[in-house]
Structure 1
Amino acid sequence: MKIFICDDEPKILSDISSKVNLFFPEAAVSEYTNGKALLEAIAENNCDILLLDIDMPEISGPDIAARLTALANRPLLVFVTSHDELVYDSLRRKYTKAGR
């Protein structure tokens, strides 16, 4: 199983990665600190699970999620954030293959 984690906060990225490694020791975990690097990695390698920060500079988590709809094998997407107010907005958006 391949798990990608993307968060622009190094401490949070490290904390999430530690927990993932604890619960999924057999998984190949890759960490990314920005959306551009994540999108480049996803273009080269599929992942099974993506833990994605909502609020990041340059390209936000929801914008990345929208780009994932073009993939034939989309990962299970889990948004992570420390901003409560962003959770509800992310749930209102739809990320379907048809782009609805």
Structure 2
Amino acid sequence: MDQLMQVLIVDDEPYNREELKHLLSEFTQIQSVQEAESGEEAIMKTMQYQPDVIFLDVEMPKVSGMEVAKAIQELKKPPLVVFATAYPQFAAEAFRYDAVDYLLKPYDEELLKETIGRLEKKRGVKEQTNQGKERGKLAIEVEGDIHYIDLKDILYMSRIEKRTKLITKQGEFDTKMPLKELENRLLAYGFFRIHKSFLVNLEHIQRLTPWFNGAYHLQLEGSKDTLSVSRNYIKALRAKLEI
């Protein structure tokens, strides 16, 4: 891997953090290491520093490692997780959170080396997937012709009666494809439902304005249209935008 890793070590015991930090200093793949001594601090620093990898203790006061893992999976770009603990009985539960590895204390240097290798491999697959998504095109049929539209050029989609309109930087396209089908295909590419009739590209959102009864108005870069955001979607939308 050409890109170096930013790491966050989460453990309530200073000695354990120091030991792991020392071991990680031997790996040229590691660029920097941050530390957190509690679950609450771990979530805050994950949002602040956006590390590539978290080495996460399980047993911590107040907020456990499992709770941290669950919370950070909701982030737009969640880091890879390696559980580092003295308790082998939590291994099965750990992999429910898509953990890359499960290390037991005291740390074995050879096993840690294998973990770093797994992280590199996992990051390589993740980057290739993201690159593929960036290059993606949406194929839609319009009056018998197939049009291939760059996803980054789509501003939003609206459903009117039995037709779906795609508003893009280049113009508008009209298709019979249901909005629900488009939502299912594009959810992993940064598109989000804001209303039963609207699906928007999160990358182009410019402004949210409170309206009434908990609803909002939304404006997109490159469009003069004002879209309604249903109050049923606003909480999830704000969480996506503000992380």
- The TM-score with structure 2 as length reference comes to 0.36
Given that 1:81 and 1:87 are in contact with CA atoms closer than 8 Å, whether structure 2 keeps it comes out as no
In the alignment, what sits opposite 1:20? Answer: 24
Identify the match of residue 7 of structure 1 among 6, 11, 14. Answer: 11
Given that 2:7 and 2:33 are in contact with CA atoms closer than 8 Å, whether structure 1 keeps it comes out as yes
Are 1:68 and 2:72 matched, yes or no?
Answer: yes
The whole-number CA distance in structure 1 between the counterparts of 2:97 and 2:51 is 20
- Higher Cα Rg: structure 1 or 2? 2
Give the aligned CA root-mean-square deviation in angstroms: 1.6
Report deviation, 1:32.
1.1
Shift in alpha-carbon separation, 1:15–1:65, aligned structure 2, 3 A: same
Identify the match of residue 81 of structure 1 among 78, 85, 89. Answer: 85
Given that 2:7 and 2:30 are in contact with CA atoms closer than 8 Å, whether structure 1 keeps it comes out as no
Shift in alpha-carbon separation, 1:78–1:7, aligned structure 2, 3 A: same
In the alignment, what sits opposite 1:98? Answer: none
The whole-number CA distance in structure 2 between the counterparts of 1:57 and 1:24 is 33
1:36 counterpart letter in structure 2: E
The whole-number CA distance in structure 1 between the counterparts of 2:93 and 2:42 is 22
Report deviation, 1:8.
0.8
The whole-number CA distance in structure 1 between the counterparts of 2:79 and 2:59 is 19
Are 1:55 and 2:67 matched, yes or no?
Answer: no
Shift in alpha-carbon separation, 1:41–1:84, aligned structure 2, 3 A: same
Are 1:44 and 2:52 matched, yes or no?
Answer: no
Moved over 3 A (4+): none
Contiguous gaps of at least 5 residues in structure 1: 96-100
How much identity, in percent, do the aligned residues show?
Answer: 27
- Matched positions, count: 94
Shift in alpha-carbon separation, 1:10–1:70, aligned structure 2, 3 A: same
2:54 counterpart letter in structure 1: L
Q: Give the number of the structure whose residues are more often strand, by fraction.
A: 2
